[in-house]
Amino acid sequence: MSVIGQFPDPFPELADDEVHVWKCSLQSDEGDVASRIAILSADERKRANQFKVERPRNQFIVTRSTLRFLIGKYLQSRPEQLEFEIAEHGKPHLRDSSGRLEFNVSHSHDLALFAFARFSPIGIDVEWLGRKVSHADVAKRFFSELEQEQLNQLPEEDRQRAFLECWTRKEAYLKARGFGLSRDPRTFSVPLSSDLNTRLLEDQADASAVQGWRIYPLQPEHHYCGATVVSVDSPDMKVICQWQGNRGLLAHL
């Protein structure tokens, strides 16, 4: 199947007060992967060839080609002609886009998520719930004291999922701000509640961030959790998830 054929027609327009989130399965056959390679840049093809194992190599190709097709649709540009640059801490952005399309990508196991906004910095993260992790030990290293308190108040059987949900919210915020791993994740706190529209609890380095950034938890599929974080300039900002190619409003930010 052509990757273009997976998208709705007409393609949805992205308004200034909207965030669009797309998901993409990373399971693919050889013919599908081969058809995607042609639109990648020379650097992307080089990076793909550096993978020694076929599965992560194919997942990289599917993720990058899908990103190119989505951006091409939003900007009405040829996907193979898009040029990317990498910011200081590793966040990719379009060259000469002047902020007219902000985006972020995340993948875990067999699923990738893509988030898009106009002029508003954005981050996204997804985690597979089957991931095995010693949540208590990792939380001590990467979670704030407030987040650890929230986690420890939950029943033991709920903590593994809550840990991963918290992780996606923290990671999405770091990516949205463009900090990457340069920022100590213990210096800010996110809520562990299941509210669809929520704020940071604190940011020790930027008190204004509590009002200026919003967190939107996501459940793209049964065995995954995720979050997107966006800088909110408009009180009417809303998130629209394109889970099945249908334009469904899930929440106002």
User: What is the tens place of the pLDDT at every residue in 177-197?
Assistant: 998 778 999 999 999 987 777
**Which SS3 state, helix, strand or coil, does residue 165 take?**
helix
Quick: pLDDT tens for 56-98. Answer: 999 999 999 999 999 999 999 999 999 998 877 778 889 876 6
Residue 19: which pLDDT band, with cuts at 50, 70 and 90? very high
Give the C-alpha separation, 71 to 118, whole Å.
12
Between the CA atoms of 63, 193, 170 and 184, what dihedral angle is there, to the nearest 10 degrees? Answer: -170
Domain map (residue ranges) of the chain:
14-252
* pTM of the full structure: 0.92
Distance CA 112, CA 132 (A): 19
8 Å CB contact between 219 and 227: no
129, pLDDT greater than 50:
yes
Q: What was the pLDDT predicted at 93?
A: 87
* 194-237 per-position pLDDT tens digit: 777 789 999 999 999 999 999 999 999 999 999 999 998 766 78
Q: Which residue has the higher pLDDT, 156 or 32?
A: 156
Give the homologous superfamily in CATH for domain 14-252: 4'-phosphopantetheinyl transferase domain (3.90.470.20)
At 102, the amino acid letter reads: E
SS3 12: coil
177: helix, coil or strand? helix
